[in-house]
Amino acid sequence: MPERATDKTARPLVELRNLAKAYGGVAAVKPLDLDVAYGDFCAILGPSGCGKSTLLRMIAGFVEPTEGRIMIDGVDVTGLGPEQRPTNMVFQGYGLFPHLSVTANVGFGLALKKMPRPEIATRVTEALRLVRLDGFGDRTIDRLSGGQQQRVALARALIMRPKVLLLDEPLAALDLKLRHAMQEELRRIHAEIGGTFIFVTHDQTEAFALASRIVVMNEGRIEQIGAPQDIYLDPRSLFVADFVGETNVLSGTRQNGSVRLAAGASFIAPGAEGVVRAIIRPEAVRQGAGEVTVQAQITDVVFLGNALKIVARLSSGETLSARDPDVRRHARYVLGSTESFGWSLADQRLLEGAQ
C-alpha cells in the first residue's frame, strides 16, 4: 500500500546527512550519515540508550535535530513536522485511540484529509485484509489482544501509503510465539507491498529475522552497516561482535607478519605490529585440530536443545566457547579433561588494537 518502488533511481529514498541530536550538551546521536534504499527492510539495532529511538523519531519528525539534514525522496524534510512528512509510524505502545472503533482508528488519517466516506471504507477494508484482521472493523480497542492491537496500529499507518514506514520496537510487548508469528506477518506484508520499512530494536534475533539491512548503533554512533550475514560473520568492531550473538575474543600480538595468540597458537597474518584480537563464532570452533588449534580444559557442557555448548578454559585464562550440533555426543566431552579445539582461518576475524 505504500508507493511501489517503481522509481529505482540511483538515489536512495532516505538520506541522512551529518545528522546529530544533543540534549543540553549530552550527545544522544553523534553526527552520522545514513542511506536507506527503496524497498529496504532496514533495522536499527543497538542496546538501550544507543540513540536508535532518537534517530527514528528524528526521521519521523518528533525530534528536531541539532544539526544535519534529512532528505526523503529528494526533498529536504528537516524543518517539517510529522504531519507533513511522507512517513508514518507504528509507535511503541501503539497509541490506538481508545474512544474509536477499529475502523475509525484505521481510517483516522484519511478522515482528516476529508476523503469521502465510501472511499475510506474501501481502503479500510483493504488495510484490514492486509494485516489479516478482516471483520474486526466494529470491535472496540479494549477488546483486542496485544497482537491484534499491533496489527491495527500497522494498518492505520499503512493505509496512508507512506513512502517510509517507521516502526519503534514493534514486537517488544509480545510474547515469544506471538513475536515469531508477527515477524512472519511483517515480512509477508513487506514483500506484498514492496515498501520501505525502517524499524528499531534491541533484539538481535528480531533484526536478523526481518531486515535485509542492519545498522548497528552504539552510544550515538553507527558501528556497522550491512546485511545480516555480514554483520554476524564479519564484525568490524568488538562491540558488534559482542552485541550480535555470542563470540570468542582471543588476544594476541602481531610481529613480523605473524600473530601469536596468548592461548598458544600462531598463524600468518600480515599487518601492523601490535596487539590484535581474534574473533571466532562458537559454531566455527570444533573439537580437534584445525588451521588454528588451541588446548583448553573443559569446564562446562550445556544442552541447548539444538546443539551442545562446550565451555573451556584456555592456558591464557581466556574462555573458549564451542558448539557441537550433534547433541548425542554429550559423553565425548569430559569435564576437567584438556582437549584440542580448532577452527579455520576463514572463520576468524582479526581486530586491530584493544578496541
Partner 1 sequence: MTPRRDVWFLAPSLAIVAVMLLAPMGLLLIISFWSVRSFKLQPDFTLGAWERFFVNYGGLTLYTLLIGIVTALLCVTIGLAFAYAARFKAGRYGDALVMVTMITLFGGYLVKIYAWKSILGADGLFNQALMKLGILDAPAPWLLYSRGAVVLTLMHFLLPFAILPLYAALRNVSVVTLEAARDLGATPTQTFWRVVVPQCRAGLFAAFAFIFLLAAGDYVTPLLIGGTSGSMLGQFIALEFSTRFNWPAGAAMSFGLLGASLLVLAAGRLLIARRERA
Residues at the site binding partner 1, with contacts judged by CB under 8 A: 60, 62, 81-83, 87-89, 91-100, 108-109, 112-113, 153, 156-157, 160
Contact by Cβ (8 Å): 91, 157: no
Q: How far is the CB of 100 from partner 1 (least distance, A)?
A: 8
35-61 CB burial, b ≥16 within 10 A, e <16? bbbbbbbbbbbbeeebbbbbbbbbbbb
DSSP alpha helix (H) spans, the chain: 52-60, 102-106, 108-112, 117-130, 146-158, 176-193, 204-210, 228-233, 238-243
In the complex, least distance from residue 86 CB atom to partner 1, rounded to whole angstroms: 11
- Provide, rounded to whole angstroms, the least separation between the CB of residue 61 and partner 1: 8
112 vs 289 by CB, closer to partner 1:
112
Q: Tell me whether residue 82 or residue 264 sits nearer to partner 1 (CB atom).
A: 82
Nearer to partner 1, 88 or 321 (CB): 88
Nearer to partner 1, 164 or 284 (CB): 164
**Phi and psi, residue 143, nearest 5°:** -95, 5
Contacts of residue 246, Cβ cutoff 8 Å, sequence gap at least 6: 281, 282, 321
CB of 17 to partner 1, least distance (A): 23
Residue 75: how many CB atoms within 10 A of its CB?
12
Shorter beta-carbon distance to partner 1: residue 157 or 215: 157
List the one residue out of 193, 162, 256, 219 whose CA is nearest residue 48.
Answer: 219
Closest separation between CB of residue 271 and partner 1, Å? 49
We find the least distance from the C-beta atom of residue 105 to partner 1, in angstroms, to be: 9
Nearer to partner 1, 92 or 297 (CB): 92
| Cell representation of residue 236 | 568490524
We find the least distance from the C-beta atom of residue 34 to partner 1, in angstroms, to be 21
Instruction: Map grid coordinates 582461518 to a residue.
Output: 345
Phi, psi of 211 (to 5 degrees): -90, 150
Which residue, 160 or 322, is less far from partner 1 as judged by CB? 160
Q: Give the residue from 52, 62, 57, 90 showing the smallest Cα distance to 202.
A: 52
- Helix ranges (H only) for 204-350 are 204-210, 228-233, 238-243
Torsion of CA 199, 203, 204, 205, to 10 degrees: -100
Nearer to partner 1, 62 or 303 (CB): 62
* Min CB(112)–partner 1 separation in Å: 5
